[in-house]
Structure 1
Amino acid sequence: MASAHGRARTAGTVRGQGIAAAMGGWSARHRWTAVGSWLLFVVLALVIGSMAGRVDLTDREEVPGEFGQAVAILDDAGLNDGPAGEMVLVQAAGGSLKATDPAFRAVVGEVVAAVEGTGEVASVESPYDAGAISEDGRSALVRFDMRGDPQTAPDRVEPVVEAVSGVQDKHKDLKVEQFGAASSEKVFNDAFGSDFQRAEYSALPVALGILLIAFGALVAALLPVLLAMTAFLATTGLVAVVSHTVHMSDTANSVMLLVGLAVGVDYCLFYLRREREEREAGHDAQTALRIAAATSGRAVLVSGVTVIVAMAGMLFTGIGDFKAMGLATMMVVAVAMFGSVTVLPALLSLLGERVEKGRIPFLRRRGKGTGGESRVWRAILGGVLRRPVVAAAVAGGALVALAVPAVGLNTANLTLSQELGDGLPIVRAYEDINKAFPGGPDPAQVVVKASDITSPEVRQAIDAFSRAAVAEGASPGPVETELHEKEGVAVLKVPLTGGTDEERAEASLKVLRDEVRPGTLGEVAGLTAPIGGSTAASMDFTDKIGDSVPPVFAFVVAFAFLLMLLSFRSLTIAITSIVLNLLSVGAAYGILTIVFQHGWGAGLVGAEGVGAIVAWLPLFLFVILFGLSMDYHVFVVSRIREARMRGLTTQGAIRHGITTTAGVVTSAAVIMVAVFAIFGTLSMQSMKQMGVGLAAAVLIDATVIRGVLLPAVMSLLGERNWYLPKWLSWLPDMTHDEAGVAPAPVRQATAPAPVEPSGVGR
């Protein structure tokens, strides 16, 4: 192996071995075929996906448990296609005016006339006929339905909203506020739809700008973005086809874009940087490309498979949105990985030196002549390797300190005011209606299904349930009953004691389910009565998330460990990779807890007064971060192992591996941090928390973990890094790609004797 240091830098120094080298070699030899096949694949995927159309999740799939059962009964009975309900609160905030006074009645009459005059509403219900007067006599609730398809109601509700606003403008002494399914969705779409679009559209220019700085050339910067976007477009088409079996969602599409952009840019960046580095070192273009295929190409394959395994953890949740996100991200990672090891070598072979076209004059390439090593990281690493115990203690201690607050992490399904803030009129209306009519805007829905819904036994049980709900304190009443004789279904709308107070509302729901229902509806043989509604959806979702944590964590950690063991044939590296990634995730949890739960620095990100972490985020972050962290880990450790196999000592290999990968890892991390930080600026608290959590974790992982803690720990372990017990020697060898590479000489003060690391390359 020592003789390799004196080899001439000529073609033929790569003995093509392994899938990555074979695929890269074929692509370079058949470059037009590879590029044409990729473009054809992208176009066909888009066309077929467009023809197939995307099938989205239904309400019954989104949330399991009783909520899903209730929705399923209503769906099967055709009762979920009913009109979108709206309500208008008329309230005397002060003074002696009562809802029964003529002046108040006149305003209610104006509201009724105004909404009916739009021609968009039906079934307008007077509060005086329906008894919708608050207990204090100061508020009245006008209920009505939007005409036509409930799916298009948000697009048609604007005239109704304007009519209600017109009444409010004429009566400043009263509150006249509207809330409902159509009006709230319209406000949401208007306020946050463009918010999401801006974030998604900003991601590409941000990534391109950072790549321009990293490469200093327009063509080189465009390649990663083009690969990532074509991978995303192709996957969009494939996902549409797959959605006919596993239904998708807009959320899954947004997460797919984020992950696809992240890994697509990363993989192309890893490959391209290595190819440029080998050309700088003196290799001809074809040899540099073959070396990049056998080294960075292999790292891309190992990393991609690891990320896919991590994303597969979301399939174990049993929650529709998580399964959609998991499958969509697995697919986009697989497509980006495949494109990186096939079409990218072909493009680099076609471009040759032209990859340097479009140079930015003031962005001169740095590090030339240093073997691709980063001077900054070389200086930092010098201190780390001189005092690895101190470096490990400081970095590890800092991460543990960041993670400690996560012990008290409090998850919750955010209320409307927590999620959107209390500045929007729709949020104020929701809060005011809840105060005047506790639980009114969001009643629990008891969906009763029986073979004979009109039988005396069933009617008595329904009446007994309604009385007991109020008597047990679970509902302030009144309980409304809708009877659908033809469908054999009755729907009981039960306002929950607690209203917008999530904890009290959930306690009321538990009373209905565990105490009221068993002794009333539960006594009727053959009757089913799942309890749904928004509070039930939140509680069932949270319970399912909690139940999913152990299997998802176990699956992701176990399979990541196995992949690291097979990829590096080292028990030590497999264990340290898991520990370091868990530290990174723990630190991200701690930062989320400090900022969003305890409010430290919350004002900087517009998150004052939230007080909780959205329930789905910890599990989502774990899966995403574990996958992305492994991305960097595989790339860095692959380079260290490669140097070790060429005869360097472990210390020298660490120094070379970290300094030669630090620049590309930093560039990739800066892109991801910038993209995720964009989502941290959105108005919705859940998206803000996701963006801040992802950005903080990636930044910590690329700097503290990979630049300080990893080299310190590997330095302390020394030759034990490559330890593989004899009883594991039967494991398949997945490490051979680097063994066939003889790249440019690696600078080392003292050339070591040839050493074959224990358990490596057997």
Structure 2
Amino acid sequence: MATLLYRLGLLSARKPWSVIIAWLLLLGGVSGAAAAFRTPLSSTMTVEGLEFQQTLDTLKREIPDAAGGIGTVVFRTESGRFTPAQQAAVAKAVTDWEALPQVADAIDPFATQKQLDEAQRKTADGQKQLEASESKLRAAEAELAKGQGQVDGAARLGLLKGQQLTDARAKLAASTKQLADGRAQLERGKRELALGQRQVALTKDTRFVSADGTAAMTQVRFNEEIHSVSPEQRQQVTALEAQLAKTGVKTYFGKELVEDVSSVIGPGEIIGIVIAAIVLMVMLGTLVAAGLPLLMAIGGVALGTGATLALSKVVELNSVTPALGLMIGIAVGIDYALFIVNRHREQLKTGMGRTESIALAVGTAGNAVTFAGMTVFIALAALAVTGIGFLGTMGFAAAGTVACAVLINLTLLPALMSLAGHRMLPRRTWRKHGFNARGESLTDEHPRDAEHADRGWGAIVTRHPRPAIVAGLALVAFLAAPAAGLRLGLPDGGSEPQSSTGYQAYATIGEKFGEGANGPIVAVATLPAGLDELAAKDRQLDVAEALKLNSGLVSVMPAGLSKDGRTAVYQAIPKKGPADQATVDAVHQIREDAPFIKEVTGADVKVTGQTVANIDISQKLADALPPYLLIVVGLSLVLLLMVFRSVVVPLIATGGFLLSLAAAFGGVVAVYQEGTLGSIFGVTNPGAILSFLPILLIGVLFGLAMDYQMFLVSGMRESHVHGEDARRAVRTGFSHAAAVVTAAAIIMVSVFAGFVHAELTMIRPIGFGLALGVLIDAFLIRMTLTPAVMHLLGERAWWMPRWLDRIVPDVDVEGVKLVDKVQGHPHA
């Protein structure tokens, strides 16, 4: 592989303009395809085959009107209580929404609340009317009985005969039938009244206008699922905000209506890139050299993200997909270019020719970059084994962006370095190493800096390995402690910025209508066959009353019944918010109670809706976490065994990865679940951790951890292979790679940290977790614990059984054989 990459670098360096033109044509084609085929991104995460999805499919089939996506709208008045004019304005807005072709229906909160408030009075009036009708019917029955006795008596006495008797009895029969019809009607009225009373009892805690009259809430139901409603169609709903504001009504729209998934990059990300540019400039010293890694990162991201967006025509993409590709692509693109550029610069300092240096840099550092990129690619692509569609798509898209970053650094970077020529190093560096500004030798003596190995952090750590190990492990334990309470979920309006309309809607609902109103649970019951209309309604209420026994629910409101009376739908309001553990428990309780409800009512009950979807998806992801971690750890051990020809080093590297992973999990839980330092990181409503964050964190952090392991420890191995004592080789290898790894880690942390305040709030904890994970892994695990442990182990760190050494392929990641071959002194 190293020889092949050497030739590729040589070709790119000799024909730079051909390579540049080819890349420009490729980038132009991909950008055009992205512009032509891009479709709106989805903010919903679905997993086929889960119970909530099957129940939703049943609901779509049986009661289509109840299966559409729901957008929540909250109204607040600036005049204390809503005035009649303001209520009329809201009613007008509801009418306008219902006129939109994408809207199935919308609720007038004031009219609906009035109906709910009057329902109890109407049932009381109905009770009085039934009692009056009952009295009249009894009087009529008594009168009929009296008449029947008179006719029978007259007939016995012979006072009524023939036609007169026939007419009298016919009249009595008609009266009897009329009374029987009246009795049947009365009994039906009693049944309907009983149903109404039960309905009122179930909905007494349901409100659409707050008790103090200062807030109102409505639901706009669309014809399609919410993620299928285009941003333009949602904007037609939110466009009425100005119309309502004129009457003094403040309107807040739920997160599902206003979430903007089109903004992938914002100010925070730009600041991260600026910091990366500053680090590059300080380290490399020239604008040209510092600009190349940034240019490579932008090019790789443009290619990867463009291809991803173009594929959105045929594959549904989640809003996080391009953001994740952007985050990872920028970070690895800069790092990979930095490693190759640094190798080229170091070789130029020794007097190596420009073209030869470029080719050798690609064959050595580029070989390590290729292998490092492969680890990230495999770890991300392995997300497909979770069996979760959107996560697999996300993984492949991010892996593709990483592949683009590797490819562009192996081809376009050497072409641009060739054109940059002597400008890859500043003039003062040329003079320091005995060359003029064009790289021409002024002296045959080139200063050596071998003594550098005995200075700096690496020397300190290896002089005091045991204290370094103890202090490092103590810090990891402190950071990782909160991870034990990790709870997974999906973001809701409470995770939005405090100033956003999504958060304001969420907070107002929680304050005025209860936390659970932010995340209703949709229950669907399949009723027994053969029930008439009233019997079906009666059974529907039986199920509602059984559901209401759940201690985690505030109310259960019947929300629809299919035409055939077989399918009933309910809206259950939990006591707590959608991401709260109490709501998760309430959903589990409904499922546990389902057999009992079926035994009592004959109805089969299942649950669905966005709240349940979030819970089911989170559980699915939690179940996928252990096997995925096992795959990644196994992959780590196998790859590192091939790279370092050692049994011990892979165990050290993998153990270090697990430590950095635990610390990253602990930090994320502390900030985003427990709210520690929440004001600094914009966490206004701590809650469950983004359900797919742990898996993504494992995949990405694994690849990046192996990058640092490779560039640091491969230098140690190279020194050891060339004859240095194992302990001395640790210091030498560390000194060779420490500067570039430090710069790379600072850049990576800066880029990831830029996403901590991303426009898309869902990406924020991912950015924080990756930034913290890289910080811990690079500086604590790879640059402190690893050299300390390897120094303690000495020669034992490189132990490998002979039989295993014979069967494990020699990948020569650091390109030692290539260097020896090029320099003309093959290593035995």
Shorter-chain TM band:
0.7 to 0.9
Report the Cα offset of residue 625 of structure 1. Answer: 1.3
Report what 2:304 is aligned to. 235
Shift of 1:576: 1.3
Write the deviation string for residues 682-727 of structure 1: whole angstroms up to 9, x where unpaired: 4876544333322222222222223222222221222222222123
Q: CA separation in 2, counterparts of 1:423 and 1:468? A: 40
* C-alpha deviation, 1:665, in angstroms: 1.1
Query: Which among 292, 304, 316 is matched to residue 361 of structure 2?
Result: 292
Q: Distance in 2 between matches of 1:268 and 1:392?
A: 32
> 2:466 matched to 1:389?
yes
Aligned ranges for residues 221-260 of structure 1 at < 5 Å? 221-240=290-309, 242-243=311-312, 246-260=315-329
Deviations for 1:438-472, whole angstroms, at most 9, x for unmatched residues? 54453222346799899778766544322322244
CA drift at 1:411:
4.5
1:373–1:661 CA contact under 8 A, matched in 2: no
CA distance in 1 between partners of 2:453 and 2:802 (Å): 40
Alignment partners' CA distance in 1, 2:767 and 2:822: 41
Alignment of 1:444 onto 2:521: yes
Tell whether 2:22 aligns with 1:28.
no
Matches within 5 A, 1:190-339: 196-240=265-309, 242-243=311-312, 246-339=315-408
Q: Report what 2:749 is aligned to.
A: 673
- Pair 1:544 & 2:620 matched: yes
For 2:675 and 2:221, how far apart are their aligned partners in 1?
A: 41
The residue aligned with 1:477 is 555
The whole-number CA distance in structure 2 between the counterparts of 1:423 and 1:56 is: 24
Sort the Cα spacing of 1:484 and 1:207 in 2 relative to 1 into closer, same or farther, 3 A.
farther
CA distance in 1, matches of 2:83, 2:822: 87
Within 2, Cα distance between the matches of 1:637 and 1:108?
71
Distance 1:225 1:365, change over 3 A: farther
In the alignment, the residues of structure 2 paired with residue 328 and residue 195 of structure 1 have an alpha-carbon distance, to the nearest angstrom, of 15
TM-superposed deviation, 1:650: 2.2
The answer to whether structure 1 residue 626 and structure 2 residue 702 are counterparts is yes
Q: What code does the residue aligned with 2:54 have?
A: Q
Match 2:664 to one of 560, 569, 588: 588
- Cα 1:722–1:19 change in 2 (3 A) is farther
| Structure 1 equivalent of residue 651 of structure 2 | 575
- Quote the sequence identity (%): 28
C-alpha displacement of 1:118:
8.7
- Give 1:217 shift: 1.2
**Structure 1 residues 224 and 123 mapped into 2: Cα distance closer, same or farther (>3 Å)?**
closer
Structure 1 range deviating more: 483-492 or 654-663: 483-492
CA gap of 1:664–1:743, structure 2 versus 1, over 3 A, is farther
Provide the secondary structure at the position in 2 that maps to 1:732: coil
Work out which of the residue numbers 654, 658, 661 in structure 1 matches 2:734. Answer: 658
| SS of the residue 2:523 aligns to | strand
Equivalent position of 1:420 in the other structure: 496
Paired amino acid for 1:515: D
SS at match of 2:317: coil
Gaps of 5+ in 2: 119-203, 435-445
Instruction: Quote how far apart the aligned CAs of 1:339 are.
Output: 2.1
Between structure 1 and structure 2, the one with the greater Rg is: 2
Find the counterpart in structure 2 of residue 9 from structure 1: none
CA-to-partner distance for each residue in 1:138-171, whole Å, 9 max, x for gaps? 458564648999533432234432344444x3xx
Distance 1:583-1:193 versus aligned 2 partners, 3 A rule:
same
1:156 aligns with 2:236: yes
Single out whichever of 274-283 and 331-340 deviates more from structure 2.
331-340
1:508 maps to 586
The answer to whether 1:111 aligns with 2:95 is no
Report the secondary structure of 1:734's partner residue: coil
Secondary structure at the residue paired with 1:493? strand
Shift of 1:557: 0.8
**Are 2:712 and 1:636 equivalent residues in the alignment?**
yes
Report which stretch shifted further, 631-640 or 197-206: 197-206
The match for 1:466 among 537, 544, 548 is 544
Whole-angstrom CA distance in 1 between matches of 2:389 and 2:15? 42
Query: 1:399 corresponds to which residue?
Result: 476
Aligned-partner Cα distance in 2 for 1:269–1:87: 50
Q: In structure 2, how many angstroms separate the alpha carbons of the residues matched to 1:593 and 1:84? A: 30
Aligned-pair distance for 1:278? 0.7
Give the residue type in structure 2 aligned to 1:712.
A
Distance in 1 of aligned mates of 2:51 and 2:679: 38
Residues 455 and 626 (structure 1), Cα distance of their counterparts in 2 relative to 1, 3 Å cut: farther
2:817 corresponds to: 739
Deviations 1:349-405 (A, max 9, x none): 34332434xx699x9999996668896993222222223333333333333343334
In 2, distance between residues paired with 1:272 and 1:92? 61
Q: In the aligned structure 1, how far is the partner of 2:482 from the partner of 2:219?
A: 48
CA distance in 1 between counterparts of 2:243 and 2:427 reads 57
The aligned amino acid for 1:389 is R
Q: 1:226 to 1:683 in 2, by over 3 A?
A: closer
Provide Cα deviations, 1:13-51, integer angstroms capped at 9, x if missing partner: xxx954433433443354444334333333333334444
**Given residue 234 of structure 2, which amino acid in structure 1 is its aligned partner?**
P
Q: Equivalent residue for 1:726?
A: 802
Query: Are the aligned partners of 1:621 and 1:694 in contact in 2 as well (CA < 8 Å)?
Result: yes
Q: How big is the shift at 1:602?
A: 3.9
The aligned amino acid for 1:40 is L
Change (3 A) 1:194 1:238: closer
2:46 pairs, out of 61, 75, 95, with 61
2:140 counterpart residue number: none
Q: 1:5 corresponds to which residue?
A: none
Alignment of 1:604-619 (within 5 A): 604-607=680-683, 610=686, 613-619=689-695
Q: CA deviation at 1:310?
A: 1.8
Aligned pair count reads 709
Q: What is the CA–CA distance in structure 2 between the aligned matches of 1:726 and 1:387, rounded to whole Å?
A: 32
TM-score, normalised via structure 1 length: 0.81
Partners of 2:264 and 2:322 within 8 A in 1: no
- Cα distance, 1:291 vs structure 2: 2.6
**Secondary structure in 2 aligned to 1:647?**
coil
Distance 1:232 1:550, change over 3 A: same
Q: Distance in 2 between matches of 1:365 and 1:374?
A: 21
Q: Which residue of 1 aligns with 2:28?
A: 43
Contact 2:742 2:778 in 1 (8 A): yes
Once the two structures are superposed, what CA deviation does each residue of 1:462-488 show, in whole Å capped at 9, x if it has no partner?
443223222445544352333454999
Equivalent residues of 1:442, 1:535 under 8 A apart: yes
The alignment yields a C-alpha RMSD, in angstroms, of: 4.1
Task: Please tell me the residue identity of whatever aligns with 1:536.
Answer: V
Output the CA distance in 2 between the equivalents of 1:487 and 1:276: 78
CA distance in 1, matches of 2:54, 2:530: 18
Deviations 1:274-300 (A, max 9, x none): 011011012222332233123211111
CA spacing shift, 1:338–1:80, aligned 2, 3 Å: farther
Instruction: Tell which deviates more after alignment, 534-543 or 731-740.
Output: 731-740
The amino acid that maps onto 2:625 is: V
Question: How much does 1:640 deviate?
Answer: 2.0
Farther-moved stretch of structure 1 (73-82 vs 233-242): 73-82
- The worse-fitting range, judged by mean Cα deviation, of 331-340 and 440-449 is 440-449
